[in-house]
């Protein structure tokens, strides 16, 4: 009998498929939750930083000053959306015009802004009222390098753990399938050895499960055949 057609192989295959599906679901959900929480913490830190900067900023005409030292990327846009001041690395962004306009209209928002030569930068844009008639937009950005590193490590751990678990599950599945189907092989060998001249043999019934009922059924059939042959003789 072909190995691919054996019940043992099919049981193990379905067992491995179920394990792989569960691992994929678990890994996907865990990765999503971890990524969401990490970016949520980053967003909260950006929001808190903007609040700090709003308390130390001084704008006089086109001149912008901060009372505290600024190490990260900070950009100030005037009411027309023109860049007034930039602190930090000189990075060009491709998709922040809409975010700046929303901030000038009074709506704070987060955006992952793509750059031509590097990873996307997480930005937070917030409106700041200089006076009753003048509003500017404050944009603070940080690279999510730490988040990307943690997610990369997490992917590697999940992948290696999943491969190891699949190998162990395959070996364990073969062992369990072989042990479970061992009585079937014994029943097959005994039934094959019973012939017309030796109908007195019976299959040992060692359990009360489905295999035990199968053995009892075969014993009943052999007993009826033995009785029929005796009547013929």
- 8 A C-beta contact, residue 91 and residue 113: no
CA 84 vs. chain centroid, Å, equals 43
What is the SS3 string spanning 59-86?
A: EECCEEEECCCCCCEEEEECCCCCEEEE
Is the alpha carbon torsion for 187, 190, 192, 198 positive or negative? Answer: negative
Paired tokens of 67: 């009372």
DSSP 88: S
Burial 16-37 (b: 16+ CB within 10 A, else e): beebeeebeeebeeeeeeebee
CB 113 within 8 A of CB 94: yes
Query: Between β-strands 83-87 and 73-77, what pairing exists: parallel, antiparallel or unpaired?
Result: antiparallel
Tallying the residues shown for the chain, one arrives at 233
Q: Which helix (H) or strand (E) holds 112?
A: strand 109-115
What is the reported pLDDT for 29? 95
Q: Give the strand pairing for 57-60 and 118-129.
A: unpaired
pLDDT 10s digit of each residue in the chain, 233 long? 555 567 777 778 888 888 999 999 999 999 999 999 999 999 999 999 888 888 878 877 667 777 777 778 888 888 888 888 888 888 777 778 888 888 889 899 998 888 777 778 899 999 988 877 888 888 998 888 889 999 999 999 999 999 999 888 888 877 887 777 777 777 777 777 666 556 666 766 666 667 677 777 877 777 787 777 777 77
């Amino acid at each position: 009998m072909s190995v691919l057609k054996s019940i043992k192989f099919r049981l193990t295959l379905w067992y491995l498929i179920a394990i792989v599906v569960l691992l994929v679901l678990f890994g996907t959900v865990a990765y999503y939750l971890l990524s969401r929480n990490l970016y949520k913490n980053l967003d909260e830190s950006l929001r808190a930083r903007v609040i700090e900067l709003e308390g130390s900023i001084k704008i006089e005409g086109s001149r912008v000053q901060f009372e505290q030292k600024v190490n990260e990327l900070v950009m100030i846009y005037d009411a027309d959306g023109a860049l007034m001041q930039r602190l930090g690395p000189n990075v060009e962004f491709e998709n922040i015009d809409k975010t700046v306009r929303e901030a000038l209209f009074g709506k704070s928002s987060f955006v992952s802004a793509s750059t031509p030569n590097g990873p996307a930068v997480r930005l937070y844009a917030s409106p700041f009222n200089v006076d009753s008639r003048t509003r500017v937009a404050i944009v603070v950005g940080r690279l999510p390098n730490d988040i990307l590193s943690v997610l990369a490590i997490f992917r590697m751990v999940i992948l290696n753990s999943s491969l190891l678990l699949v190998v162990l599950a395959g070996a364990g599945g073969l062992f369990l399938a072989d042990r479970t189907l061992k009585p079937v092989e014994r029943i097959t060998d005994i039934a094959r050895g019973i012939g017309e001249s030796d109908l007195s043999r019976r299959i040992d019934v060692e359990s009360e499960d489905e295999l035990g009922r199968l053995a009892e059924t075969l014993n009943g059939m052999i007993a009826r055949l033995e009785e029929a042959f005796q009547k013929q003789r």
